[in-house]
Amino acid sequence: MSSKKYYVTTPIYYVNDAPHIGSSYTTLAADIIARYYRDKLGKNNVFFLTGTDEHGQKIAEVAKKNNQTPLEFVDSIVPKFKEAWKLLNIDFDYFIRTTDPRHEKVASALLQKLYDKGYIYLGAYEGPYCIGCERYYKESELLNNRCPLHPDKEISHQREKNYFFKLKEVVEDYVLPKIKNKEYKILPEIRENEILSRVEEGVDDISISREGVTWGIPLPWDKTQTCYVWVEALMNYYSATLFLEGRQHFWPADLHLMAKDILWFHAVIWEALLIAADIDLPKTVFAHGFFTINGQKMSKSLGNVITPQELVNKYGIDGARYLLISAVAFGTDGDISLESFDQKYNADLANGLGNLVSRVAKMAEKSEFQFSSKDTKIYDEVHSAISEYRFDTALKFIWDKITLVDQAINKDEPWKLEGQKLKERLQYYLEEIAEIALNLKPFLPQTVEKIDKVFASPVIRMQEPLFPRLK
Ligand code: MSP
């Protein structure tokens, strides 16, 4: 059963921010993987989960600023995420919200289990807290007394009675050996090395509850405290498989996707919680890189946030999908600019794929050629690239095929041919295009549908261009 199913997740995003190209990037990558495995394993054997992280101090404060209750606020933001994913043609199977009482119930039962097994104890915590990250820092981790990820936010010093999870013990006894034995994978390898060296430096127990935060899940054995938002957020991946009907067998997850900013939580803390609760571990945790925009961090205050809507308005749905996923090698950091997107759109989509399809369709239309397709298959290189999360490699391979067909056309000069010879060449171009289309399906689903429609009809007729040139 286990090799016959695939379960992929994205982080559940904080609702204090609207969806932007960072969250779109991860969600799109998960969509491509889910579409690929649906074709390979069958639709019902894939589960793609995304959602929103809705508890915690940060969300409560933003709600207050908007004169709303936290629930009113989160309810008003969630549709924005769903709309953004729809806009990008992201076909998730379920959208989980941590305010869903069914999630709260599972999280609460898991917490109780950890408590009953002796992994949780009462202590006191004192230290710098960054509300942007919703986590405590060590003094030594701060830069100029500021959070390295949120230098614009004040660090608050907090002291409170907290419950702690015995992270140190579980990591030393179980997590570290399991990473070393590759019982679950942390990818790319460079990230695994970073995690390993951080674990080897030694970890402290973590506080898993908050005294002053009411917007959260109460601890079942001490209702004066709520669960630390990160702990119950991680549990979403497991809780969805339990509270949704018929999804139990999807656990353990095959792939947790995220950027490197939150890898520690996913590659160490989550595993420790699962081990302590006797639950199977996810198979792979993959952290991709971080985007900058024209060399700068993307931020509201710099006003350089790019929204999925902007991309879709300019490049169309599949244009946006292609530009995002091919922007950088998956796993590495990279810089994005709309100028480079324009260039790439024209080169690869308007000229490359779009032009190939329209020139062949025009020739076929003119000579009233009828195409009977042969069997197409996913290229071996694309199979292996996608199963290793090398989307850019898969696309590069497909684009090389596009170039080869273009070159063949230039060499053949089919406009000078007629009769059987012309038919043979058209048959060849169309077979190649059909195969290219099949390989592009997880990446550009709508474009592939359009291509299939052009060539599958008894009389081939080119419709409007797939990717109109940018003005
Ligand atoms: N709520 C937590 C996650 C809990 S998961 C159990 C959280 N949310 S977040 O809204 O801040 O999302 C972080 C994630 O958004 C990153 O890990 C990444 O997937 C995506 N990205 C946000 N900005 C990004 C870039 N600039 N570049 C690439 N990905 C980015 O953390």
Per-residue model confidence (pLDDT) at position 301: 79
Q: What is the pLDDT of residue 455?
A: 87
How many angstroms is it from 284 CA to the middle of ligand 1?
18
Taking CA atoms only, the protein residue closest to ligand 1 atom 24 is: 22
Residue 2: predicted pLDDT: 45
Nearest to 219 by CA among 98, 108, 106, 97: 108
Nearest-angstrom CA–CA distance, 125 and 261: 24
Strand partners, 48: 8
Q: Are strands 222-227 and 209-210 parallel, antiparallel or unpaired?
A: antiparallel
Q: In a 3-state reduction of DSSP, which class is residue 26?
A: helix
Residues facing residue 226 across a β-bridge: 210, 218
Verify whether ligand 1 is closer than 6 Å to residue 330 (CB atom). Answer: no
- Ligand 1 centroid distance, CA of 10 (Å): 9
pTM above 0.75, yes or no: yes
**CA 82 distance to own-chain centroid:** 14
338-456 fold: Isoleucyl-tRNA Synthetase; Domain 1 (1.10.730)
What is the pLDDT, as a whole number, of residue 3?
A: 60
Q: How many CA atoms lie within 13 A of 151 on its CB side?
A: 5
User: How far apart, in whole angstroms, are the C-alpha atoms of residue 41 and residue 432?
Assistant: 24
Cα(11) to centroid(ligand 1), Å: 6
From 262, 274, 299, mutation site for ligand 1 pocket: most ligand atoms within 8 A of C-beta = 262
Decide whether any atom of ligand 1 lies within 6 Å of the 132 Cβ.
no
Residues of the chain with CATH 3.40.50.620: 6-288
Let me know: does 385 contact 435? Beta carbons within 8 Å. no
Expressed in angstroms and rounded, the spacing between residue 13 Cα and the centre of ligand 1 is 6
Indicate where the chain has its CATH 1.10.730.10 domain(s): 338-456
C-beta separation of 5 from 47 below 8 A: yes
Q: What pLDDT tens digit does each residue of the chain (471 aa) get?
A: 446 999 999 999 999 889 999 999 999 999 999 999 999 999 999 999 999 999 999 999 999 999 999 999 999 999 999 999 999 999 999 999 999 999 999 999 999 999 999 999 999 888 899 988 888 898 889 998 999 999 888 899 888 899 999 999 999 999 999 999 999 999 999 999 999 999 999 999 999 999 888 999 999 999 999 999 999 999 999 999 999 999 999 999 999 999 999 999 999 999 999 999 999 999 999 999 999 999 998 887 788 999 999 999 999 999 999 999 999 999 999 999 999 999 999 999 999 999 999 999 999 999 999 888 888 999 999 999 999 999 999 999 999 999 999 999 999 999 999 999 999 999 999 999 999 999 999 999 999 999 999 988 778 887 789 999 997
pLDDT digit string, tens, across residues 279-312 = 999 999 999 999 999 999 888 778 899 999 999 9
Distance of CA 190 to the CA centre of its chain: 19
Give me the pLDDT at residue 346, please.
97
Q: How many Å apart are CA 151 and CA 142, to the nearest integer?
A: 9
Pocket test for ligand 1, best of 261, 263, 266 (most atoms within 8 A of CB): 261
Quick one: which atom of ligand 1 is closest to the CA of 290? 27
Cα three-residue angle 10-387-250, rounded to 5 degrees: 50
Round to whole Å and give the CA distance between 429 and 433: 6
Q: Contact at 8 Å (CB) between 273 and 208?
A: no
Which helix (H) or strand (E) segment is 428 a member of?
helix 419-440
250 Cβ partners below 8 Å, 6+ apart?
Answer: 5, 7, 47, 241
Is the CATH number 3.40.50.620 carried by domain 6-288?
Answer: yes
State the distance from the centre of ligand 1 to the C-alpha of 25, rounded, in angstroms. Answer: 10
